[in-house]
Amino acid sequence: MPTVLLMGASRGIGFELARQYIQEGWRVIATARSDEGLERLKALGAQTLRLDVANPASNSGLSWQLDGEKIDLAIYVAGVVDRNSASNPPTRDRFDAVMHTNVMGAMQVIPQIVPMVQETKGVIACISSIMGSQQETTSGNAALYRVSKAALNMVVRCTQAEQPDVTVLAIHPGWVQTDMGGAAAPLTPEQSASSLRQTLNRILEQRDPKHRGAFLNHDGQTLPW
């Protein structure tokens, strides 16, 4: 039975990924920061861990919570959005809130799980966004969010450069009907999670070097940096 670690799975895409992987017969280890989130995940049948990726003290305890694990697939799902445009400078508190969750958390937890993914020669995927693509950016809306996802993409590239035995990639889930994406989005969480799962499962099966350090759409198409 393969094992997937979902970091930030209490709602939205993360929760739906947990549900679908459990339904597919995977062993799911899922993190959440609140009691409510942990209980929702337990009700699905997931093994749960408390983790607040915006809190360095919480992040520092992840490796011992996972001691002895072998992980086939690890997905960093946690993320928050700020919709202010580039003409509205962020406050320090708002900058910290977005960058701590979207970037710092990934930089602190990924090095801890690399040895566990190396055991299976598996995959580490970070849920990024096409809004983090510099080539595709033609608008200044949600500027801080864009900056954070561009930075997360660099985390992926740097990690891959130092970890040749695993596949590390960034993946765009599409515009999804979540609290972050809003009701006007064209994809449901079920559709996005299904597409993400199929693409990541295929990458895990193929273990093709072309996927190392890649930036992909949820359907597996390559995206421009």
* Domain ranges within the chain, ordered by starting residue: 3-217
The contacts of residue 104 (CB under 8 Å, 6+ apart) are 53, 54, 56
Can you give the pTM of this predicted structure?
0.96
Mean pLDDT by 10 residues, the chain (225 residues): 96 96 98 97 98 97 96 97 93 98 98 97 97 94 96 98 96 81 75 96 95 97 97
Domain 3-217 in CATH 3.40.50.720? The answer is yes
> Which pLDDT score is estimated for 41?
98
> Which pLDDT score is estimated for 187?
79
Q: Give the separation between CA 122 and CA 68, rounded to whole angstroms.
A: 16
Q: Do residues 193 and 20 lie in contact, with contact meaning Cβ atoms separated by under 8 Å?
A: yes
Q: Give the separation between CA 168 and CA 215, rounded to whole angstroms.
A: 10
Q: Do residues 17 and 196 lie in contact, with contact meaning Cβ atoms separated by under 8 Å?
A: yes
> Which pLDDT score is estimated for 184?
75
> Which pLDDT score is estimated for 177?
76
> Which pLDDT score is estimated for 169?
98
Q: Do residues 120 and 72 lie in contact, with contact meaning Cβ atoms separated by under 8 Å?
A: yes
Q: Give the separation between CA 127 and CA 149, rounded to whole angstroms.
A: 9
